[in-house]
Amino acid sequence: MINRNKGKKIITALLAASCIVSGIILASSNPKTVSRLQDIEQIDSLITIQFANHQVLPDQVNNSVIRVDTLLKRRTYWVNVPSRFSKTMFHIDLNNELSRYEIDSPAKVNFPSRDMNIYIYKYNTVLRTIRITTDTDLDSLSTESD
């Protein structure tokens, strides 16, 4: 059986080794790059880029603006997509892009329709909403990758 002092030395050595390994991992990891948002309208550009990246045609997107107060206008996008469109992948890619600007984008999936609402917010204020709805009439829609 290991005596008490020897056990303490082993535990101390293991703790020191784990601290050293943790420090090496932390030092070798890339720091998260945070970009600065120039203005709130830049969010619209980021959203539009993601629509294009996911082959959402301009005809599939409608939007409206609601004035919340004298300083804030909230834009809502209504997007109709074919059933083969991956709403989850769109949300993941959009979230990855927005997170560089420290913008949150939680989503809610409505069942049984599986339509998705993405809420884009910063500073505890919803700035944009994207409502993605499946439209089976678009299933015959042809894109460049088909």
Domain boundaries, the chain: 1-31, 41-140
Rounded to the nearest integer, the mean pLDDT of the chain is 89
Q: What is the pLDDT of residues 29-44, one digit of tens each?
A: 777 677 888 888 899 9
Pick the closest to residue 101 from 43, 49, 44, 51 (CA basis). 43
Q: Are strands 125-134 and 115-122 parallel, antiparallel or unpaired?
A: antiparallel
Are 100 and 111 in contact by the 8 Å Cβ rule? The answer is no
Pick the closest to residue 85 from 36, 128, 137 (CA basis). 137
Cα torsion 48, 61, 126, 110: sign: negative
Please report which helix (H) or strand (E) contains residue 62, including its range.
strand 61-67
Q: How many residues does the chain have?
A: 146
State mean pLDDT over 85-109: 95
Task: Give the separation between CA 14 and CA 10, rounded to whole angstroms.
Answer: 6
Task: Give the separation between CA 142 and CA 146, rounded to whole angstroms.
Answer: 6
pTM for this predicted structure: 0.73
Task: Give the separation between CA 82 and CA 64, rounded to whole angstroms.
Answer: 22
CATH 2.60.40 fits 41-140, yes or no: no
State mean pLDDT over 122-136: 92
Q: What is the pLDDT of residues 105-121, one digit of tens each?
A: 999 999 998 999 999 99
